[in-house]
Amino acid sequence: MTRVSDTDIEQLGINVVRGLAMDAPQKANSGHPGTAMALAPLAHVLFTRIMRHDPADPSWPDRDRFVLSNGHASILLYSFLFLTGYGLSLEDIRRFRQWGSKTPGHPEVHHTAGVEVTTGPLGQGFANGVGMGLAERWLRARFGPEVVDHHTFVVCSDGDLMEGISHEAASLAGHLGLGRLVYVYDDNHITIDGPTELAYNDDAAERFSAYGWHTEVLGEVANDTEVLESALRRAMAVEDRPSMLVLRSHIGWPSSAQDTPEAHGDPLGEDVVRQTKQILGLPPDEDFWVPEEVLAYYRSCGERGRALSTQWRARFEAAPIDKTAWAAAQGGRGLDGWETKLPTFEAGAMLATRRALNQCIDASAELIPGLVVGSADLTKNNGVKLANGSNQSTDDPGGNQVHYGIREHTMGGIMTGMALHGGVLPVGGTFFIFSDYMRPAVRLAALSQAHVVYSWTHDSVGLGEDGPTHQPVEQLAAMRAMPGLRVIRPADANETAHAWRIAIDSEGPTGLLLTRQDLPVLAGTDSAYEGVRRGGYVLRPASGPPDVVLVGTGSEVQLCLAATRLLGQGSPGPALSANVVSLPCWELFALQDEAYRHTVLPPGVPVLAVEAAASLGWERYADDSLSIDHFGASAPGAVVLEHFGYTADNVAARARALVERSRP
């Protein structure tokens, strides 16, 4: 066989990737071939010349990160993961978008080796990349450049830049001066609806320059690997700000569907695929063609990273750093025994659960090495103001207090990126009502099982005077409906400490729902860690067989306790006995076996739920609920709660009525 030159084998490899980008969507009759075809040279340069990565060790901590924010072009990423040796096979490429395949429609972290973040909803990967860049800088400041010294590369699209989250993320990244963050904007001028000019004529370079980014307009060089490499290396050298390279590409190049919406979102069709393969010098009638010399070339490129990862491990072993702290940070956990530092609160004291969380964070922060805490403004209000923290900034890259500004959506996306980068355990706060602004990012954190903690405060109409625009009603049911998200609404300060411990020690995301208003510390909650860990427990059992169970969460548990005393007094009507149940986390409770759940909610005993939120969902646990299925009102919190029936007298009356209805 005639030996091919390096230039020839590279061009052949790029064209082979274009062939896979056409074949996989064609076979699946679903997918996005055009962007992958256009960006094959860029990805080739990144995976073979630029990025420090080791396919044999995809989780090597000091690898460069690659984020395909325009995740619809997933076949591009899968092709290079297959070719460079990340464990994907050609059969996996053939099974693109099929049931159980390793090559789903959009990249999914933990599902496919080499995928760093779950992307697809446009703009999310953009924010994740900022989180990764922030994590890299923070870890470098914390542990030193000997063990942390890498870049984050993000490919994004016009759709990413149109979505509002990209504006938020770009603004913050520029403000923080995050270097080692290299973005390439695929400026292909095509959306599914048609030319981008239908809705978009931003000057991207000017926009990002205004945000404080280093920008370059590369122009018509999408097929010039030498120019692409030079531009990427120039951007990598920028240490004091993020970089944006604007690349004019032609979607679907060199097919007859080039520069059309059809090349964006639909398979090209067998005739067009065949014709395009002829143009590219590929066998026109052979699907998924990967010649041995191309595969060997890419595998050798992948193997180059093995020496880099080996050298890093030697540097790591020799580095004079706290290896125990490093391991805890990488695991997103506390040092052994960290939970012993958590405060215990005395029964009868009055404390808002947001304030209790702040005390818990301050007490344990030094023993959670990867802890980075922030808020979308409202830092003191959200219980996330570190007593001994320093502000993350260009002057203090190791600062562990992040001021996200009024940017809830990007805070969520950045936190996910930080967590999936590894080495950082991010905590972020905002009012619970504004979780609506960050919901898409929270959903992807849940889908990715990113270890993040949300401090969602001002959790009910009890926040008061700000009124219905700021009073969450339906948000609690909505967050509980999200798979993979652990939602904990503690009844008092002690349950808050238990919830913080659970959030740190558990995998995946946790949302803590905390009060603005002071609550009494309840007797018995100091020893209730196991009950909270199980999602629910009997806080106050009846003296005998209960006539009714009063189950509450958060600030309403105190009302259940007060109502129990009224029921026991027997006026009006006969005396009734009641169990009081605190059910702070439905998700954890659902994981318990039936026997345990029946000890908490005994079958045959009527159950009244008391919660200042929408009733949706309570039917699974309760026979009736005192809930709010309408918007709130502007008045002092205690007044609003009283007008909506959140008093001990009304809870007792509702319980009596339920018992009466339940009698045969």
For residues 593 and 465, state if they share a domain. Answer: no
Domain end marker among 497, 512, 527: 527
Pairing of strands 152-157, 578-582: unpaired
Please check the confidence at residue 106 and state whether its pLDDT lies above 80. Answer: yes
Please check the confidence at residue 637 and state whether its pLDDT lies above 90. Answer: yes
For residues 160 and 116, state if they share a domain. Answer: yes
Please check the confidence at residue 571 and state whether its pLDDT lies above 80. Answer: no
- From the candidates 116, 168, 339, 408, which is the catalytic residue? 408
* Rounded Cα–Cα distance for residues 169 and 171 (Å): 5
Please check the confidence at residue 1 and state whether its pLDDT lies above 70. Answer: no
Residue 318, in any domain of the structure: no
Domain end marker among 509, 527, 545: 527
Is 451:425 a contact under the CB 8 Å cutoff?
yes
The token pair that represents 334 in the structure block: 């506390």
248's enclosing H/E stretch is: strand 243-248
pLDDT (0 to 100) of residue 323 = 97
pLDDT (0 to 100) of residue 631 = 98
Residue 233, in any domain of the structure: yes
Report the share of the chain in percent with pLDDT over 70. 99
In order of 146, 225, 455, 508, 579, the CA distances from 139 in angstroms are 11, 32, 23, 21, 49
Is 113:81 a contact under the CB 8 Å cutoff?
yes
pTM as predicted: 0.97
Residue 325, in any domain of the structure: no
Q: Which three-class secondary structure state does DSSP give residue 638?
A: helix
Is 79:277 a contact under the CB 8 Å cutoff?
no
Of 557, 516, 537, nearest to 357 by C-alpha is 516
Residue 319, in any domain of the structure: no
In order of 155, 193, 206, 549, the CA distances from 209 in angstroms are 18, 28, 5, 61
Of 232, 259, 290, nearest to 43 by C-alpha is 232
In order of 456, 479, 487, 629, 650, the CA distances from 587 in angstroms are 17, 11, 7, 22, 28
Q: Which residue has the tokens 């619809």?
A: 72
Letter for the amino acid at 217?
A: V
Is 356:493 a contact under the CB 8 Å cutoff?
yes
Look at the chain and report how many structural domains it folds into.
3
* Rounded Cα–Cα distance for residues 22 and 251 (Å): 12
Please check the confidence at residue 4 and state whether its pLDDT lies above 90. Answer: no
Instruction: Report the length, in residues, of the chain.
Output: 664
For residues 501 and 559, state if they share a domain. Answer: no
CATH label of the domain that carries residue 587? 3.40.50.920
pLDDT (0 to 100) of residue 570 = 84
* Rounded Cα–Cα distance for residues 282 and 14 (Å): 11
Identify whether 408 is a catalytic site residue. Answer: yes
For residues 449 and 552, state if they share a domain. Answer: no
In order of 112, 338, 356, 358, 423, the CA distances from 363 in angstroms are 38, 9, 11, 8, 21
The angle, 0 to 180 degrees and rounded to 10, between the axes of the packed helices 493-505 and 353-364 is 50
Of 539, 546, 584, 583, nearest to 562 by C-alpha is 539
For residues 167 and 65, state if they share a domain. Answer: yes
pLDDT (0 to 100) of residue 494 = 98
Residue 569, in any domain of the structure: yes
- Residues 259-305: pLDDT tens digits? 999 999 999 999 999 999 999 999 999 999 999 999 999 999 989 99
The token pair that represents 193 in the structure block: 């609806």
Domain end marker among 288, 309, 330: 309
pLDDT (0 to 100) of residue 5 = 59
pLDDT (0 to 100) of residue 70 = 98
- Confidence class of residue 664 from pLDDT cuts 50, 70 and 90? confident
- Residues 216-226: pLDDT tens digits? 999 999 999 99
The angle, 0 to 180 degrees and rounded to 10, between the axes of the packed helices 124-143 and 164-176 is 20
The DSSP result for 32-53, as a single string, is -HHHHHHHHHHHHHIIIII---
The DSSP result for 297-312, as a single string, is HHHHHHHHHHHHHHHH
Q: What is the mean pLDDT of residues 518-523?
A: 98
Q: What is the mean pLDDT of residues 229-240?
A: 98
For residues 518 and 600, state if they share a domain. Answer: no
171's enclosing H/E stretch is: helix 164-176
Is 491:480 a contact under the CB 8 Å cutoff?
no
CATH label of the domain that carries residue 467? 3.40.50.970
Residue 410, in any domain of the structure: yes
For residues 651 and 540, state if they share a domain. Answer: yes
The tally of CA atoms less than 13 A away on the side-chain side of residue 443 is 13
Residue 329, in any domain of the structure: no
* Rounded Cα–Cα distance for residues 19 and 130 (Å): 32
Q: What is the mean pLDDT of residues 526-533?
A: 98
Cβ–Cβ contacts within 10 Å for residue 421, how many?
26
For residues 129 and 206, state if they share a domain. Answer: yes
Residue 1, in any domain of the structure: no
- Residues 393-412: pLDDT tens digits? 999 999 999 999 999 999 99
The token pair that represents 213 in the structure block: 């980014």
Please check the confidence at residue 2 and state whether its pLDDT lies above 90. Answer: no
Is 276:284 a contact under the CB 8 Å cutoff?
no
Pairing of strands 578-582, 537-540: antiparallel
* Rounded Cα–Cα distance for residues 444 and 127 (Å): 12
Q: What is the mean pLDDT of residues 100-112?
A: 98
- Residues 595-608: pLDDT tens digits? 999 999 999 999 99
For residues 510 and 552, state if they share a domain. Answer: no
Burial class (CB in 10 A: 0-12, 13-18, 19+), 162: middle
For residues 297 and 373, state if they share a domain. Answer: no
pLDDT (0 to 100) of residue 3 = 41
- Residues 421-477: pLDDT tens digits? 999 999 999 999 999 999 999 999 999 999 999 999 999 999 999 999 999 999 999
Please check the confidence at residue 487 and state whether its pLDDT lies above 70. Answer: yes
Q: What is the mean pLDDT of residues 548-577?
A: 94
Q: Which three-class secondary structure state does DSSP give residue 58?
A: coil
For residues 289 and 388, state if they share a domain. Answer: no
In order of 269, 649, 655, the CA distances from 160 in angstroms are 27, 53, 52
Is 589:449 a contact under the CB 8 Å cutoff?
no
Range of the domain at 624: 534-662
Q: Which residues does 341 contact at the CB level (< 8 Å), separation at least 6?
A: 363, 364, 367
- Confidence class of residue 634 from pLDDT cuts 50, 70 and 90? very high
For residues 473 and 541, state if they share a domain. Answer: no
- Residues 360-383: pLDDT tens digits? 999 999 999 999 999 999 999 999
* Rounded Cα–Cα distance for residues 199 and 66 (Å): 29
Q: What is the mean pLDDT of residues 66-87?
A: 98
